[in-house]
Amino acid sequence: MTSSRRAAVLGSPIAHSLSPVLHRAAYAELGLAHWSYDRFEVDEAALPGFLDGLGSEWAGLSLTMPLKRAVIPLLDTVSDTAASVEAVNTVVLADDGRRTGDNTDIPGMVAALREHGIEQVDSAAILGAGATASSALAALARVCTGEVVAYVRSAARAAEMRQWGERLGVQVRTADWARAEQALAAPLVIATTPAGTTDALAGAVPERPAALFDVLYDPWPTPLAARWSLAGGAVVSGLDLLVHQAVLQVEQMTGRSPAPLGVMRRAGEKALADR
């Protein structure tokens, strides 16, 4: 008899996470009937106790805010990719209880860009300077050959982005958010800000925009993405990122490859449409 295996997504808040939909769709397609994937509301204070309470049936965890940095001291090993941005979104649990942390957001971003034909750019712009912006910089280290301009709201955030650039080997220049419209002329724009933040920029989309990667997926499209698409520019969505990073998680946790990208994407699209 096949023993059951478990995985889950942890975070706070967690109710709106699409991860269960994506992972369960993958398990069904791969014939992993004995696998389950759940969601748990867990904050930083509860994380150590949650991890210590996991049994041998647990294969892996997906982590969202605010746990991506808090989990690092609780792990046995951390991949170079995760260490480069001090953020873990994937924990693989070995039979002997060892916990290995990785970051699939960064290769997920690169894969999402490549799927839309964006292999390399000579410069780029980032809107925002939060946790996702550092992952975006790490992805740009793999696809951008020149300068990245980060549009931020404070001197502290500007300094932070320049430090991340130095650490990741990316040439970063910072500019004030008041000039964010200038970002839209870049060959690749990555919007990493919360819902509503870029809405005012929609009217400034150039006549012939290049590529926009908007990390939001609900609600979709954002006003900026809608206007960009209307003008004929390439648009990569937050769902593209979510699916590509989840594909990598499924492969790491189950040991099965390739994970069913198309099936997972359609499951995500249906779940969003049903909301």
Tell me how far apart the alpha carbons of residues 41 and 160 are, in angstroms, rounded to a whole number.
29
Supply 101's token pair.
């942390």
Structural contact between residues 150 and 133, judged by C-beta atoms closer than 8 angstroms: yes
Structural contact between residues 41 and 50, judged by C-beta atoms closer than 8 angstroms: no
Name 61's bridge partners: 8, 91
Considering 5, 6, 24, 68, which one is annotated as catalytic? Answer: 68
Contacts of 226 (CB under 8 A, 6+ apart): 202
Q: Where are the alpha helices (DSSP H) in the chain?
A: 19-30, 47-52, 80-85, 105-115, 131-143, 155-168, 223-230, 238-254, 261-274
Would residue 68 show up in a list of annotated catalytic residues for this protein?
yes
Tell me how far apart the alpha carbons of residues 66 and 10 are, in angstroms, rounded to a whole number.
9
Q: Order of strands, edge to edge, in the sheet holding 211-214?
A: 172-176, 148-152, 124-127, 188-191, 211-214, 234-237
Tell me how far apart the alpha carbons of residues 230 and 20 are, in angstroms, rounded to a whole number.
32
Tell me how far apart the alpha carbons of residues 198 and 213 are, in angstroms, rounded to a whole number.
12
Tell me how far apart the alpha carbons of residues 78 and 35 are, in angstroms, rounded to a whole number.
25
Contacts of 243 (CB under 8 A, 6+ apart): 22, 112, 261, 264, 265, 268
Q: Which residues are catalytic?
A: 68
